Structure 1
C-alpha cells in the first residue's frame, strides 16, 4: 500500500491524541492497521495494551485480518471489537465482583426481549416503540446518575425528570399516525417505572441482559474509581472508529477509559445516519476537542471511486451542506484515480414494475461475476424489488438467471428457524433461559400448550420455587429439587465455598485463596478449609479487591497443585453452595484441568443468589451484602473469602428453614402435575448437555437436527427452505470452529453464541451461493462497497423518509443519501417511479436536486 502524507502522520504520531476526519474510501482501515503495527513493532505498546473499537463486527474482522497480515501472531493479542462486544467482555470479567450479575449471563436480542416485556406493553403502543422507550429510560437513568439499590425508585425519578426535560421525545414514541396515544402515555408516566423494573427482573431471572444493559452496566461499574482504573490502565493506545455513530452514553463510557492514554477518534460528520438512535457527533467531537486537545488530521485523498463518481459525490455534498463542508475542509478533497467513468445515470421509470425490470436487465447486461449491490431506503422497497426480480427470473432459462439475496431487518440470526435451533444452544449455556425453553417447546415439543406453560409460570408455581426451565432438566425427574440440599445438611455434606483470584477471567486467571466450611443443619461450622496459593503470576490490581499482595502469597501461598488436590478431596461428594457460585465452580474446574487433576467430584451445586431470586424476586437487589443486611443473620461479608462464606451459610440456613422446607409439598404437587409432558425433551437435553463437553458445535447441531426431531418437523410441515438456512448455520459454525483457538467444550460453543447475539443486527453472512446479489438498505450497506450500485426508489415520500422529515431529521436523510452515493467504485444508477400503484403521478426525490447539473457527471433520463 502506498501511504500518503496525511496517512503517514496518523501512523507515526504516538504522543498526541488524534481527531481523524476520514470520509468514505480514504484508506482509513489500512491506515489504522498500519498504525497498530507501528505501535507494536516500534515498541511503543504491547499488543494486549491496544484497544480498537469499531461499529460493526464486519469492520472488526477486517481490522483483525489486516493487522495480522502486517505483524503476524502478535495481532491476536490486540483487543479489536465492537462497542457492545467490549461492554459484554467487561461485564463478564466483572461478574464475580458484581454479585447480582450471573457469570453465565447471556445477551437477549430485541426479539427475545419482546417476550419478557410484552406483559407490560400498553395495548396500542407498537412493540418497537415500547422497546425504544425502555431503552431511553434505562440510558437516561445512567446519564442522570440515578444509581441506588431501589430500582423502581430510580426509574420513577428518571421518568419524572424525562417528563420535564424530554417530553417531546417521549411523546414521539407514543405517536401513532401523527396522533399521540395520550391514554397509554398517561399510564406510562404513572406506572412505567414499575413496568421497566419488572421487565428487568424478568431479564435477571433468565440470567439475561439486553443491549442497553451492556452499556448501562459498564457505565455503572465505571463509577467505581477502582474498577475504572483497572480498565483504563489495561490499555495505553485506544482508537475508536465511526465515532459519528456513537451515542452520548457510549461516549461517556469511552471517556472514562481515555484519561492518561493515547486516544484516536476517527469519524466523518457526513456519514452520521444514526441520530435517531442518539448519536450526536458535533457535540461529542467538540467535547473531545476541548477535553483532550487532539491533533486534527483530515484525509483528502479518495481511493475507492473513479474520478467521475468521486467528483459527483463531493459536489453533491457541497450542495447539501455548503457552510459545513467549507468549515471542515481547508483544501478540496481529491480522487486518487484520474480515470473517468460513466456519468451517474438517473432513470425515471413509468411504474414500479418497469423500475424493477430496468434494474434487472441492466444487471443481466453486466458480467456474471460483477460485484453488484442494490440499495434501497427501506425494507418494503427491498421486498418489492425481490418479488419483481423473482418473476423476471422465471422468464429466463436457468443459466441466464441472476440470483438475489434480500437482507431484511431480521437478518440471518433473527430468522425464526435459526433462533429456534440456537435456542437449544442457549439453553445449554444458560439453563435458566426460559425464553429459549419456550421457543423449543412451542415449536418442537408436542403436548405442551400455552395453558400449561402459563400454569407453570404462574405466581402459585413460582412461590414454591419452581421455574419452567426446571422441567427441561433431568434432576427434577429423579428427586425433589432441594432434596439433596436438605438431606446434605442433615448428613453434614454441605460445603459452602468461595475463591479469590488474580482476576475475573475463569479461563485465564488463577486462584489465590480457597476458603470453605462444612456445616450442619443449623449452620454450625463443622470443618474449615482455608489455604492460600502462590499463583506464579502477579496479582496485579486484584489486590485492591482481596487485599493479598504478591509478597504475602509468596510467603503464605502453597503450590497450586497441592491446594487444588486438597480441596478436591475436601469437597468430594459434597453438596456445594456459594453466592453466584458458577464463577467459583468454573475457575476451580479450569484450574484442575490446567494441572491435570481431573474434574471436581461434587454431588450437587446450589446457588444462594438463585435461591433468593426465586423466593424473593422483588427485592431491590440480591447482592450478598444487601441480603446480609435485609435478613436476620449476624455476619457481614467483606470480600474476604472466609467472611463471605460465613454470611452465605447463614443466608442458606434461613432460606432452607423459611422457604425451601415449608414449600416442599407444594413443589412436589406441581412437579407431579407437569413433569410427564417434559420427560422426553428433558432426556434429550440431558444427552445434549453430556455431548457438549466433548463434541464440536457442528456435531451438536447434527444431533439436534437428526435425533431431536427438528429436521423431521420441517419436512412434515413442508418447510424445506428453512432446512437450507439451518445448513447455512452449520457452515457458519464450521468456519467459526476452524478459526477458534480457545479451550474445547462449552467455551467453544459460548463463543459462537456471543457472535450470534452481537451480530444479530448486521447483514447476513453469504455462506452459500456466493454469486447472489444483495438487496440491502443503505443503513445496512454502510461500510460496504460495490463496483456497480443500483440505488432504487428515489421518490419523494419514500426517500427522504416522511417520518424523518416530520421529526425534523432532514439533514440526516441528506447524509444517508451521501452514504448511498459513495458506495460504488465504478458505476452508479439511480431509479425512481413516475406513477404509483394507483396510477397517480409521483415526484422524484428532492435529494436528486442536490446532484450536480454537469452532464459529464450526471445524466438524467426523465
Structure 2
C-alpha cells in the first residue's frame, strides 16, 4: 500500500490524541492497521495494551486481518472488537465481583426479547416501538445517573424526568397507524416503572442481558472508581472508528477509558445516519476537542470510486450541505483513481414492474464475477423487488438466472433454523435460558405444547422454586432438586466455599486463595479450609480487590498442585454451596485441568444467588450484602472470604428452613406431573452437556443434527433447503476451530454464541454469489462494483416519516451513503406511477445531483 502524507501523520503521531475525519474509501482501515503495527514495532506499547473499537463485526474482522498481515501473531493480543462485544466482555469479566451479574450471562437479541416483554406490551403497540421504549428508558436511567440500588425507584425517577425532558419523543412510540394510543401512554406514565422492572426480572430469571444492557451495565460498573481504573489502566492506545454512530451513553462509557491514554477518534460527519438511535457527532466531537485537545487530521484522497463517481458524490454532498462542507474541508478532496468511468445513470420507469425488469435485465448483462448490490430505503421495497426478480428468473434457463438474497437472508444468524440450532448451544452455556428451551421444545419436541409450557411457568410452580429449564436436564428426574442439599445438611456434608484469583477470566487467570467451611445443620463450622497459592504470575490490579500482593503470595502461597489436591479431597463427595458460585466452579475446573488433576468430585452444587432469585424474585437486589441485611441471619459479610462464606452459609440455612423444605411436596407433585414428557429431551441434553467439555462445537452440531432428531425433523417436513444453511453454520464453526486453535471447546462455544448474538442485526455474507437486496442502512460499511439504487421517489426516499418529522438532513446523509457504495458504476431508478396507478414524484434529492452530463445521465 502506498501511504499518502496525511495517512503517514496518523501512523507516526503517537504522542497526541487525534481526531481523524475520513470519508468512505479513504484508506482508513489500512492506516489504522499500520498505526497499530508502528506502536508495537516502536515499543511504545505491548499488543495487549492496544484497544481498537469499531461498530460492525465486518470492520473488526478486516482490521484484525490487516494487522495480522503486518505484525504476525502479535496481532492476536490486540483487543479489536465492536463496542457491544467489548462491553459484553467486561460484563463477563466482572460477573464474579458484581453479584447483580451472572457469570453464565448470555445476550438476547431483539427477537428473543419479545418472549420476555410480550406480556407487558400494551395491545395495539408495535413490537419495535415497545422495544425502543424499553431501550430509551434504560439508556436515560444511565444518562441521568439513577443508580440508587432500588431499580423500581430508579425507573420511576427516569420516567418522570423523561416526561419533563422528552415527552414528545416518548409519545411518538405510542402511535399506531397515525392514531395515538392515549390510554397506553397514560398507563406508561403511571406504571411504566413497573413494566421496566418486570422486564428486567424476566431477563434476570433467564440469566440474560439485552443489547442496551451491554452499554448500561458497563456504564453502571464504571461508576465504581476501582472498576473504572482497572479497565482504563489496561490500555495505552485506544482507537474508536465510526464515531459518528456513537450515542451519548456510548461516548460516556468510552470517555471513562480515555484519561491518561492516547486516543484516536475516527469518523465522518456526513455518514451520520443513526440520529434516531441517539448519535450526535457534532456535540460529541466538540466535547472531545474541548476535553482531549486532539490533533485534527483529514483524509482527502479517495481510493474506492472512479473519478466520475467520486466527483458526483462530493458535488452532491456540497450542494446538500454547502456551509458544513466548507467548514470541515480545508481543501478539495480528490479521487486517487486514474479512471473516469461512466456517468451515473438516473432512469425513470413507469411502474414498479418496469423498474424491477430494468434492474434485473441490467444485472443479467453484467459479468457474474462482479460484486453487485441493490439498495433500497426500506424492507418493503426489498421484498417487492425480490418477488419480481424471482418471477423473472422463472422465465430463464437455470444457467442464466441470477440468485438474490433479501435482508432477512442476508442476516444469517437471524434465520429460524440457525436460531433454533443456536438455542441448543445457548442452553448448554446458560442452563437457565428458558427462551432457548422453548425454541427447542416447540420445534423439535413432540407432545409439549403452549398450554403445558404456560402451566409449567405458572406462578404456583415459581413459588415452589421450579423453572421450565429445570426439566431440560436429568437430575430433576433422579431426585427432588434440593434433596441432596437437605440430606447433605443432615449428614454434615455441606461445604460453603469461595475463591480469590488474579482476575476474572476463568480460562486464563489463576486461583490465589481457596477458603471453605464444612458446616452442620445449625451453621456451625465443623472443618475449615483456607490456603493460599503462589500462582507464578503477577496478581496485577486484582490486588485492589482481594488485598493480596505478589510478595505476600510468594511468602505464604503454596504450590497450586498441593492446594488443589487437598481441596479436591476436602470437597470430594460433598455438597458445594456458594453465592454466584458458577465462577468459582469454572475457574477451579480449569485449574484442575491445567495441572492434570482431573475434575471436581462434588456430590452436588447449589448457588444461594439462584435460590434467592427463585424464591424472592422481586427483591431490590440479590447481592450478598443486601440479603444479609434484609434477612435475619445475624452476620454481615465484609468481602473477606471467610466472612462471606459464613454469611452465605447462614442465608442457605434460612432458605432451606423457610422456603425449600416447606415446598418439597408441592415441588415433587409438579415434577411427577411433567416427567414423562421431558425425559427424552432431558436425557439428550445431559449427553450433550457431557460432550461439551471434551468435544469441538462442530462435533456437538453433528450430534444435535444426527442423534437429537433435527435432521430427521427437516426431512419429514420437506425442508431440506434449511439444512444447507445449517451446513454453512458448520463451516463457520470449522473456521472458528482454526482461529481459536488451542482454546477449549467451551471457549470456542462461547465465541460462536457471541458471534451469533452480536451479529444478529448485521449482514453476514454467506454465499458470495448471491446478490443482496438491502436497505441503505444495512449497506453501511459495504462496497460493490455495481450499485442499483431503487425507489428514489418522494415519500419513499426521503421517507414520509422523515418529511413529517423534519428529519430531512438525516435522509440526505443516508442518500450520500447510498451513492458512495459503488466503485465502478451507479444506477438510480424511480417510478412515475405508484401502486394502484397513482402518480408518483421523483425524489427531491435527485435535484442535488450535478447537472454536468459527464457526471449524470438522465433517461426516461
Same fold? TM cut 0.5: yes
1:76 and 1:578 mapped to 2: Cα distance? 35
| 2:299 match | 299
The answer as to whether partners of 2:795 and 2:803 remain within 8 angstroms in 1 is no
| 1:126 match | 126
1:694-727: CA deviation from partner (whole Å, max 9, x where unpaired) = 2221221122122212222222222222222222
Greater mean alpha carbon deviation, residues 693-702 or residues 91-100: 693-702
Greater mean alpha carbon deviation, residues 588-597 or residues 610-619: 588-597
1:516-569: CA deviation from partner (whole Å, max 9, x where unpaired) = 000111111100000011111111111111111111111111111111111111
| 1:792 match | 790
The answer as to whether partners of 2:786 and 2:824 remain within 8 angstroms in 1 is yes
1:314-346: CA deviation from partner (whole Å, max 9, x where unpaired) = 000000000000010011101112321100000
1:622 counterpart SS class? coil
1:537 counterpart SS class? coil
Q: Does 1:459 align with 2:459?
A: yes
The answer as to whether partners of 2:310 and 2:335 remain within 8 angstroms in 1 is yes
1:186 and 1:25 mapped to 2: Cα distance? 48
The answer as to whether partners of 2:410 and 2:765 remain within 8 angstroms in 1 is no
The answer as to whether partners of 1:834 and 1:844 remain within 8 angstroms in 2 is yes
1:242 and 1:674 mapped to 2: Cα distance? 52
1:270–1:581 Cα change, 3 Å: same
- Across the two proteins, how many residue pairs are aligned to each other? 860
1:299–1:722 Cα change, 3 Å: same
2:410 and 2:166 mapped to 1: Cα distance? 30
**1:408: Cα distance to partner?**
2.7
1:119 counterpart SS class? coil
**1:36: Cα distance to partner?**
0.3
The answer as to whether partners of 2:351 and 2:833 remain within 8 angstroms in 1 is yes
| 1:691 match | 691
Alignment of 1:346-745 (within 5 A): 346-408=346-408, 411-745=411-745
1:674 and 1:512 mapped to 2: Cα distance? 44
Structure 1 segments (4+ residues) deviating >6 Å: none
2:531 counterpart SS class? strand
Q: Does 1:774 align with 2:763?
A: no
1:788-835: CA deviation from partner (whole Å, max 9, x where unpaired) = 111111111111111122222110100000001001111101111111
Q: State the Cα RMSD in Å.
A: 1.0
1:601 counterpart SS class? coil
The answer as to whether partners of 1:379 and 1:408 remain within 8 angstroms in 2 is no
2:206 and 2:613 mapped to 1: Cα distance? 10
2:738 and 2:484 mapped to 1: Cα distance? 41
1:572-614: CA deviation from partner (whole Å, max 9, x where unpaired) = 1110000000000000111111111111111110000000000
2:703 and 2:805 mapped to 1: Cα distance? 50
Q: Does 1:806 align with 2:810?
A: no
1:183-214: CA deviation from partner (whole Å, max 9, x where unpaired) = 10001111110011011011001000000100
The answer as to whether partners of 2:457 and 2:468 remain within 8 angstroms in 1 is yes
The answer as to whether partners of 1:379 and 1:409 remain within 8 angstroms in 2 is no
Greater mean alpha carbon deviation, residues 411-420 or residues 35-44: 411-420
1:621 counterpart SS class? coil
Greater mean alpha carbon deviation, residues 176-185 or residues 41-50: 176-185
2:408 counterpart SS class? coil
**1:742: Cα distance to partner?**
4.8
2:304 counterpart SS class? coil
| 2:846 match | 848
The answer as to whether partners of 1:410 and 1:761 remain within 8 angstroms in 2 is no
Greater mean alpha carbon deviation, residues 737-746 or residues 139-148: 737-746
Alignment of 1:55-94 (within 5 A): 55-94=55-94
1:829 to 827, 830, 833: 827
| 1:102 match | 102
**1:620: Cα distance to partner?**
0.7
2:500 counterpart SS class? strand
2:553 and 2:640 mapped to 1: Cα distance? 15
Greater mean alpha carbon deviation, residues 851-860 or residues 558-567: 558-567
1:436 and 1:371 mapped to 2: Cα distance? 37
The answer as to whether partners of 1:407 and 1:764 remain within 8 angstroms in 2 is no
1:81 counterpart SS class? strand
The answer as to whether partners of 2:410 and 2:772 remain within 8 angstroms in 1 is no
2:397 and 2:662 mapped to 1: Cα distance? 74
2:837 counterpart SS class? coil
Q: Does 1:8 align with 2:4?
A: no
1:189 and 1:84 mapped to 2: Cα distance? 30
The answer as to whether partners of 1:742 and 1:748 remain within 8 angstroms in 2 is no
1:611-651: CA deviation from partner (whole Å, max 9, x where unpaired) = 00000000010000000111111221122211111110000
Greater mean alpha carbon deviation, residues 256-265 or residues 634-643: 634-643
| 1:232 match | 232
Alignment of 1:213-228 (within 5 A): 213-228=213-228
Greater mean alpha carbon deviation, residues 738-747 or residues 327-336: 738-747
2:755 and 2:272 mapped to 1: Cα distance? 26
1:72 counterpart SS class? helix
The answer as to whether partners of 2:45 and 2:236 remain within 8 angstroms in 1 is yes
1:352 and 1:849 mapped to 2: Cα distance? 21
1:211 and 1:834 mapped to 2: Cα distance? 41
1:722 and 1:805 mapped to 2: Cα distance? 41
2:273 and 2:209 mapped to 1: Cα distance? 26
The answer as to whether partners of 1:25 and 1:303 remain within 8 angstroms in 2 is yes
**1:421: Cα distance to partner?**
1.5
Q: Does 1:309 align with 2:309?
A: yes
Q: Does 1:245 align with 2:245?
A: yes
Superposition TM-score, scaled by structure 2 size:
0.99
The answer as to whether partners of 1:346 and 1:859 remain within 8 angstroms in 2 is yes
The answer as to whether partners of 1:462 and 1:614 remain within 8 angstroms in 2 is yes
1:735 and 1:831 mapped to 2: Cα distance? 40
**1:741: Cα distance to partner?**
2.9
| 1:761 match | 761
1:416 and 1:756 mapped to 2: Cα distance? 13
1:157 and 1:837 mapped to 2: Cα distance? 47
The answer as to whether partners of 1:273 and 1:812 remain within 8 angstroms in 2 is yes
The answer as to whether partners of 1:408 and 1:776 remain within 8 angstroms in 2 is no
2:678 and 2:381 mapped to 1: Cα distance? 44
**1:410: Cα distance to partner?**
8.0
1:217-243: CA deviation from partner (whole Å, max 9, x where unpaired) = 000000011111100010000000000
1:307 and 1:128 mapped to 2: Cα distance? 41
Greater mean alpha carbon deviation, residues 716-725 or residues 273-282: 716-725
1:621 and 1:672 mapped to 2: Cα distance? 33
1:107-137: CA deviation from partner (whole Å, max 9, x where unpaired) = 0001011100111101111111111000100
1:838 counterpart SS class? helix
1:120 counterpart SS class? coil
The answer as to whether partners of 1:377 and 1:778 remain within 8 angstroms in 2 is yes
2:504 counterpart SS class? coil
The answer as to whether partners of 1:406 and 1:776 remain within 8 angstroms in 2 is yes
Runs of at least 5 residues in structure 2 that lack an aligned partner in the other structure? none
Q: Does 1:280 align with 2:280?
A: yes
**1:409: Cα distance to partner?**
8.3
1:193 counterpart SS class? helix
2:498 and 2:743 mapped to 1: Cα distance? 24
1:793 and 1:214 mapped to 2: Cα distance? 36
